A and B are shown apart, each in its own frame.
Chain A
Amino acid sequence: MKPPKPRPTETVELNNDGAKAALQASVDMYVRDKSVPVSALTNTQNENQNPFIAGQLAMMIAHPAEYAKMVDLAGKATGADKAVADAVVENMRYGLIPEGPARRAVVFGGSNIHIIKDEYVDGGLDEQAAKALICFWTSPEWSTKLARTGSNPGNLRGFKTEWMKERLDSIKFLDVTTSMLPSGIPFPVIPEATEIMNIIVPDMLQNALTEKMTVEEAADDAAAKVEELLGGL
């Protein structure tokens, strides 16, 4: 009998030299240089939008759709805020995420499609229909069309379609954001990914940025938590 194929996450790299250097770079910006706003520690993406359109934030990491959001917010602004918001939109530019200590990298988000087992579905499961829906959804054409104003197509061949060209022509700055794709790192598709992305990694950052732990300790602590998590609880 063949041994089970190891899962891609069997080696936890969260505390390797590159990850620690990246964490140290964040600490340098937040703690040493103070080149990042204090609230960056806990602000969510949505909470950055209002300060940005009010001209209070110079730069933020954002999605391709953020420009459309800013145009929308500027359209709703009134009085003195309107002039500031229009100026922000007028001067808005996109750039690539800077190269880090090891390389230029961006973590891809993404979406998953699940087929629920038939025993959990009222009325049974039409597996062929479900597979057909997934084929449709992830096809070059529809993965591009369904993400018209939002994210990039999940199917790589979608980038070569006429609809992608249409998107690039009509959505401002989309070309800049799609040029980050070669530097993309897909997140491992494992059940534990949500906990790693939403809890362990943010905790690691907060532990280091609040100086509750050193960079080494925070990275090792996070790696140990991932190890424990993957160890089957």
Chain B
Amino acid sequence: MSILTGQETVALSPAARPGRVSLWRRIINHRTDYLYVLPALLVMVIVIAYPIYYTIELSFFKTPANLQMRDKIFVGLDNYGTILSSASFREVTINTLIWTFFSTLFAFLLGSAAALALHREFMGRGVMRAVLLIPYVVSAVAASYVWKWLYHSDFGVIGALAVQLGITDQPINFLDNTTSVLPSLIVVNVWKEFSFAMVMLMAGLQTVPEQLLRAAQVDGASPRQRFWHVTFPHLRGVSMVTVLLLMVANFNSFIIPWIMTGGGPAGASDIWITQIYNIAFGRQRYGVASAYAVILFIVMMVLGYFYVRALTRGDDARAE
């Protein structure tokens, strides 16, 4: 590459290109800065990088229950083949997709509705906001046990109310039925998560310029038009981030399905994360569980990529 400066031609080496300084050179130039973050980096290497490395390594081994971990057997990609060809993988993957899609969709829609409702001034708005935040701050473990008893197939409050109100003859079988168990868990998950979407979108609504809304109103735009043409475009970024965070949380959601059903009955509510736990700590097959975790990790990385893109969208334009 060369730069023409009048009569002279000055050749620049790749390392000397502005904005393309090598990583090593940058570290040397900013060594003091890097020293400041070194302790944090070391902690991250220990608690994040090493477990990831060990999980990937373990995914290439078989770990029979009758062998010590140090005697594990190298099997290459066999564990991945075992997972992808297993009869349960398809069922568990479908459950995971249903769980993630519907949990994310309904948590987002409910959160959006709550955020829009709370954006208006009305008496008791603060109290209502606090009440709607309760699911988010309640411990997931405690909430799971409470919902488990609410849903109980024989003695649950919901079932008893349904009978007393004449809606059904018998208590509703929420959790001991292969058809209704997953939707029932999704309801609990949505109840737990919608507050998060609500908070995110409430913050997003604060960024909508008041002048634009007033101008649209002066121009005769109806409330619906103001929402779709002014408010909604401003919420697009925060909505994208919220949906991605919800998806990541739902793919990784363990507490609610594990405590309420343990993946049952008959695997009807088994999702990837409960399956991984069961394979690792129930069946002691750490190699297969690690391979499963690596697959989940790849999915998470793809979602993470889009999350970062959504977060940094416009940064390049601003930098220019």
Contacts and interface: CB of A to CB of B under 8 A. Distances in A.
Contacts of B282: 194-195, 198-199
B267 A203 contact: yes
B153 A37 contact: yes
A41 interface: yes
A51 interface: yes
Interface stretch (B10-18, B31-39, B175-183): B175-183
A206 B154 contact: no
B173 interface: yes
B264 A42 contact: yes
A228 to B, nearest CB: 11
A209 B264 CA distance: 12
A12 B282 CA distance: 21
B178 A212 contact: yes
B154 A56 contact: yes
Contact of B283 (A41, A56, A199, A232): A199
Given A195-B65, A198-B282, A39 B152 contact: yes
Given A56-B154, A195-B282, A198-B282, A232 B266 contact: no
Contact of A233 (B171, B178, B268, B285): B285
B192 interface: no
A209 B65 CA distance: 29
Classify the secondary structure of B's interface with A.
loop
A191 interface: yes
Contacts of A232: 64, 66
A129 interface: no
B283 A195 contact: yes
Contacts of A183: none
A33 to B, nearest CB: 15
A38 interface: yes
Contacts of B152: 39
A118 interface: no
A54 B155 CA distance: 11
Contact of A206 (B65, B66, B265): B265
A191 B66 contact: yes
Contact of A212 (B64, B153, B266, B278): B266
Nearest to A233: B64
A28 interface: no
A210 B153 contact: no
A41 B262 CA distance: 12
B261 interface: yes
Most chain B beta-carbon contacts within 10 A, residue among A41, A54, A198, A203: A41
Nearest to B152: A39
Interface string B152-169: 111100000000000000
A27 B164 CA distance: 29
A4 to B, nearest CB: 14
A155 interface: no
A192 B66 CA distance: 8
Contact of B175 (A42, A51, A202): A42
B154 A42 contact: no
B265 A41 contact: yes
Contact of A191 (B65, B173, B175, B265): B65
A192 B154 CA distance: 34
Nearest to A208: B266
Contact of B154 (A51, A194, A209, A212): A51
29 contacts: A37-B153, A38-B153, A38-B154, A38-B171, A38-B173, A39-B152, A39-B154, A39-B155, A39-B176, A41-B153, A41-B176, A41-B264, A42-B261, A42-B262, A56-B154, A191-B65, A192-B66, A194-B282, A195-B65, A195-B283, A195-B284, A199-B282, A199-B283, A206-B264, A207-B266, A210-B265, A210-B266, A212-B268, A232-B64
Interface of B: 62, 64-66, 152-155, 171, 173, 175-178, 261-262, 264-268, 278, 282-285
Given A39-B154, A56-B155, A194-B282, 4 more contacts: A41-B176, A192-B66, A210-B177, A233-B285
